[in-house]
Chain A
Amino acid sequence: MANFKRVLAASLALCLAGSVLTACGDKDEGGSGSGGKGGSGGSKGGSSYAYSEAANKKAQEVGDLKQTKADRIEQTAEGSETSKKQLKICTWNNEFKNRLRAYYSKYDKEASGMTGETDDNGDYIVGEHEYLTDGTEIIWVTTPSDDNAYQNKLDTDLAGQAASDDKIDMFLIEADYALKYVNGPYVLPVSELGITDDELADQYQYTKDVVTDSNGTLEGVSWQATPGLFAYRRDIAKEVLGTDDPTEVQAAVSDWSKFDETAAKMKEAGYQMLSSFDDSYRTFSNNVSHAWVNSNMEIVIDDNLFTWIDQTKSYTDNGYNNQTSLWDDQWCADQSAAGKVFGFFYSTWGIDFTLKGYAGDELFGQWAVCPGPQPYFWGGTWMCAADGTDNPDIVADIMRELTCNKDNMVAITNGTQDYTNTVSGMTEVAADFASDFLGGQNHIALFSEAAPKIDASKLGPYDQGLNESFQAAMKDYYLGNTASVEDAIANFYKAAIEKYPELKVPTE
């Protein structure tokens, strides 16, 4: 009997242990058919994460991954009456919200409780519910993009769209993963909203290339173009370089070797050239000659990224950067008056949406921009209409007003210093513009020179996840937490395969 009790108690303990450990119920996803493309890699034994230069070279030769546009899904449910009176928009931050609130003529400021005042983050203060003039309520579904959360949420919601009566009307995407949605099944082509090519003719070509699917159909629109510049502190420039004039500062950073020399001078004067390990990343990653993934589904590390690794390693060892990471507290603080960092690589939105906020009143007018060593772009937000939307007219109207209406877009640029997606409009603005924040500089002229040079042809659907993992893995190398760069790359491969089982590490 005592023995029996013991066994019983033990098995109960076991059950309890088990109950605690059971992972959140795994569900069979009903085994829907796979699209047929993509590797079947995944759970194969004996995978190796070792980095081999020869294998990487070989993978570079293969050619970039070509996606095929997925078939759209038939909508099985209609939106409910409530859903028809609601404009549901998925986004990851407040940038688009503020644009819509301020520059969409049918946004009902009175009913939404918008006074025009902004909070500490520069966001408009609005009431609990927001409305358009026709009474449609705007429902924001906001999920931060950290750790892939926004895409996960979007994937789940869009997968349920066809059978749901609560329809998503519009969602926003970023350049880094635009192609995932553009070639995916959940987006309604722009032409089906009634927007014609003529209306879009004045937009920068690259902003259309990013959201054009493999059949050549345009799937989204953007109100901004995002060429990047190098933003620097005027006071530090005066002290160290003896001038804060953008042309002369540009001469001191016009190529990477001059950039390095200036960095050494900054170090001597007690400043850092850059803040984070990743600040210069985009200038390299946007000038690659290979996309992240080749047509064998192998991960390709471009030679230009190795240049970035070498540069950042030497900057870290020499104390030219402040060892921060993008978006962390110290990185943000480095942009304020308390910071000791000379400059940041920022694209259009970064100057208004990010830098201005962090700089505060003390550094207002103390920043300036110059083209920097290499042209690049960073980010950008595109609007996509969700397939199955029950408010296509409103979606089309928003797209038209914010991305095709030249006057309105010029007003955005004048009001927010954002660089809008109208070639002719920007050329006009560039002729005569002065930014108070940048000490009276005409940065729009610099942007309009840089914008046509943008080449988005090396973008791919995996960029966001791979860029993130690559930067995180390399951080260990810079800090000496991994013995060699090969170890860090092996960690990157490992993280990448965990995220994307369909990808492969190149082998010889």
Chain B
Amino acid sequence: MHRKSVSYAKWGYIFIAPFFIVFAIFTLVPLVSTFYNSLFENYTVMGYQQIGPNFVGLDNFSTIFDEENDLGKYFVNTFILWIAGFIPQIFFSLLFASWFTDLRLKLKTGAYKVIFYLPNVIMAAAMGMLFFTMFSQNGPVNSIYMKITGSDAPYMFFTHANSQRAIIALINFLMWFGNTTIMLMAAINGIDPSLYESAQIDGANPTQTFFKITLPLIRPILLYVLITSLIGGLQMYDVPQIITQDGLSCDRTSMTVVMYLQRYLSVSKNYGMAGALSVILFIVAAVLSMIIFTTVQEREPKKKKPAAKGGK
């Protein structure tokens, strides 16, 4: 009986094998070595004296969790910077995506898509540099500010915690909303147009179709956007690094976790501490992803699948 069917299953495995091989070499091995390194004392003194690697167990972790080292503060900073950029990003992306895909508006969107996406093409560091110059003490923004208010002292954007954070969030928003818009447009275009037609016939207004049809049906993409943005946010580095000059300004109020990690690597090449920090970051990212993943999944109504018996 079994002999009758030829198994094509192995081809499936062969086709997905390249991913797993590449994943193992370039991701799994470094990942494991990061875990391994986090258990050692290993740094350089004066650029030439190598200390370690000496096995120290979990000492690096206990140092990092030491209250004096303010790890919590850097996580809070990272979260604030991320959420302050993400909220306007998702709002405008949804707005533009629903406008651009609205059949009744009949917009020519090609040019807008390109323009919205453009900031993302620019290197983040260059964006950071640009905004740093624009908002600096003698930059154009301050000359406009001084013209309008008549004040003779410039506003020091980079020495106040809130304005500094706002600028970082602004850059992140500008860089990423185009990308999200395009992604959401694709999701909305994938919705069966007949749903909108029937809603129209039933007398639904645009707001209702948006909240009752569009939003529920693009939830998987929204989830994807949320998770990628969250992980991207956790790794935030280049923009704040440039804006805040190593993160030290304003009592470290804009120092993100990865910037903190970089402080261990930049001079002393402290692989032990940096490794421990990477491990913590990994665990946090994994837990957050799992939480989002499960909560969003379970809110979906349980569908009855006729073919759920697994037979084919």
Contacts and interface: CB of A to CB of B under 8 A. Distances in A.
A327 B51 CA distance: 34
Given A42-B43, A491-B251, A17 B289 contact: yes
A14 B46 contact: no
Interface stretch (A84-92, A94-102, A493-501): A493-501
Interface in A279-328: 323-324, 328
17 contacts: A1-B310, A14-B289, A22-B27, A23-B278, A25-B33, A26-B34, A29-B50, A34-B49, A40-B41, A42-B51, A45-B62, A47-B66, A152-B267, A329-B136, A476-B250, A476-B251, A501-B43
B220 to A, nearest CB: 11
A82 B62 CA distance: 51
Interface in B16-44: 23, 26-27, 29-31, 33-34, 37, 41-44
A284 to B, nearest CB: 21
Contacts of B286: 14, 17-18
Contact of B51 (A27, A38, A148, A186): A38
A491 B293 CA distance: 38
Interface in A450-504: 461, 465, 469, 472-473, 475-476, 479, 481-482, 487, 491, 494-495, 498-502
Interface string B239-268: 000000110111111000000010110111
A13 B69 CA distance: 31
A156 to B, nearest CB: 9
A10 B293 contact: yes
Contact of A501 (B47, B156, B273, B293): B273
A21 B231 contact: yes
Contacts of A324: 137
A54 interface: no
Nearest to A1: B310
A180 interface: yes
A47 B266 CA distance: 21
Interface residues of B, number: 76
A19 B53 contact: no
Contacts of A46: 66
Contacts of A25: 29-30, 33
B289 A21 contact: no
A26 B274 contact: yes
Nearest to B308: A2
A29 B45 CA distance: 13
A20 interface: yes
A255 B34 CA distance: 56
A44 B63 contact: yes
Given A48-B68, A333-B138, A502 B282 contact: no
Contacts of B274: 23, 26
A49 interface: yes
A28 B53 contact: yes
A159 to B, nearest CB: 7
Interface of B: 23, 26-27, 29-31, 33-34, 37, 41-53, 56, 59-60, 62-63, 66, 68-69, 133, 136-139, 156, 159, 161, 227, 231, 234-235, 245-246, 248-253, 261, 263-264, 266-275, 278, 281-282, 285-286, 289-290, 293-294, 297, 305, 308, 310
A171 to B, nearest CB: 12
A152 B266 CA distance: 8
Interface residue range, chain A? 35 or more
A147 interface: yes
Interface in A8-67: 10, 13-15, 17-29, 31-35, 37-38, 40, 42-49
Most chain A CB atoms below 10 A, which of B30, B234, B275:
B30
Given A40-B41, A45-B66, 9 more contacts: A13-B289, A20-B235, A26-B33, A31-B50, A34-B52, A43-B59, A45-B62, A472-B248, A495-B263
A472 B245 contact: yes
A93 interface: no
A271 B159 CA distance: 22
Interface in A325-347: 328-330, 333
A357 interface: no
Contacts of B234: 21
B21 to A, nearest CB: 13
A74 interface: no
Contacts of B249: 472, 475-476, 481
A220 B249 CA distance: 36
Nearest to B274: A23
B256 to A, nearest CB: 13
A330 B68 CA distance: 35
Contact of B23 (A15, A21, A27, A43): A15
Contacts of A48: 68
A502 B50 contact: no
A211 to B, nearest CB: 16
B27 A38 contact: no
Contacts of A482: 251
Contacts of A33: 50
A328 B137 contact: yes
A45 B63 contact: yes
A34 B53 CA distance: 10
A501 B268 contact: yes
Given A42-B41, A152-B266, A491 B50 contact: no
A269 interface: no
A83 interface: no
A20 B31 CA distance: 10
